[in-house]
Amino acid sequence: MTQELELLEQVAGPEKQPSQAGALVAQQGSPAAIMMQALSMGTSLEQVEKMMDLQERWEKREAEKSFRDAFAAFRGENIVIPKTKYVDRGRGGSFHQAEYSELCSRISPALSKHGFSFRHDQKFGYKRRMIEGVENDVPWVYVTCYLEHKAGHAETLELEGPPGDLSVNSPTQNMQVTASYLKRQSLLAITGTATGDEDDENGQTGSDAEDPDAVARQDGRNAAMQGLKALTAWWGKLDAKQRSRLQQDFSGMRKAAQAADAGGARA
């Protein structure tokens, strides 16, 4: 390791300190240029390869550190995705669920703000499964979510599952239904993002599943986390009927908003 650092110092120039050499080489030269310069100084190819390996490992560690720092800042945004889509499964029950488009629209600005981007790869294929004692190749959906940071580090999450079984859909449409679900769940998971009323996709029935104010209530809770100013702005956008129905909720929201303001003042 000492020899490689000394070589980095030589390539960077005698006027630079050893601790600055690696950063200077990374900023001013491509790997090919660094190698050519080192070889012209009489350095062996083996030493150059060690130097390049050292530089590569250093850059990888720095990219990982930048990713972690940026991710911690992103989590401070405290984004909660409301469940805006009402799903009725007949005898199977009904529920509200978060939509992929809603998730993307709410999370993308915050991710971009902290240097992140995301993308998905999806594959429609087959998987070997045991069905009634016989192995068969059955249709299967594979989705990979990539969370990438501008510094160069990326993390991935792979999910998979069988296609849907709605008779009114074509086989491709049933596969796309599963792909959409896996994309939503993988993005929520890899970013640590929560949805409102996290565990209500269980086929519940009755008025709770059909609550017309579910989305507005969740938006109010989100606003309360930002303080009284944001909560007041949310309340002002409601019509008279919504305010009447949400009056009891508003009292608790106000207390949460006051606590958020008090916490910000102490910080």
Summarised one tens digit per residue, pLDDT across range 202-229 is 444 333 445 667 778 778 888 888 888 8
Is 170 inside a domain boundary? no
Which of the four pLDDT bands, split at 50, 70 and 90, describes residue 12?
Answer: very low
Summarised one tens digit per residue, pLDDT across range 79-128 is 999 887 777 766 656 677 888 999 999 999 999 999 999 999 999 999 88
The number of domains in the chain is 2
Structural domain range at position 67 = 2-75
Is 224 inside a domain boundary? yes
Is 132 inside a domain boundary? no
Is 267 inside a domain boundary? yes
Is 247 inside a domain boundary? yes
Q: What is the pLDDT of residue 255?
A: 81
pTM of the model: 0.60
Write down which residue in 44, 75, 106 finishes a domain: 75
The three-state DSSP-derived secondary structure of the chain is CHHHHHHHHHHHCCCCCHHHHHHHHHHHCCHHHHHHHHHHCCCCHHHHHHHHHHHHHHHHHHHHHHHHHHHHHHHCCCCEECCCEEEECHHHCEEEECCHHHHHHHHHHHHHHCCEEEEEEEEEEEEEEEECCEEEEEEEEEEEEEEEECCCCEEEEEEEECCCCCCCCCHHHHHHHHHHHHHHHHHHHHHCCEECCCCCCCCCCCCCCCCCCHHHHHHHHHHHCCCHHHHHHHHHCCCHHHHHHCHHHHHHHHHHHHHHHHHHHHC
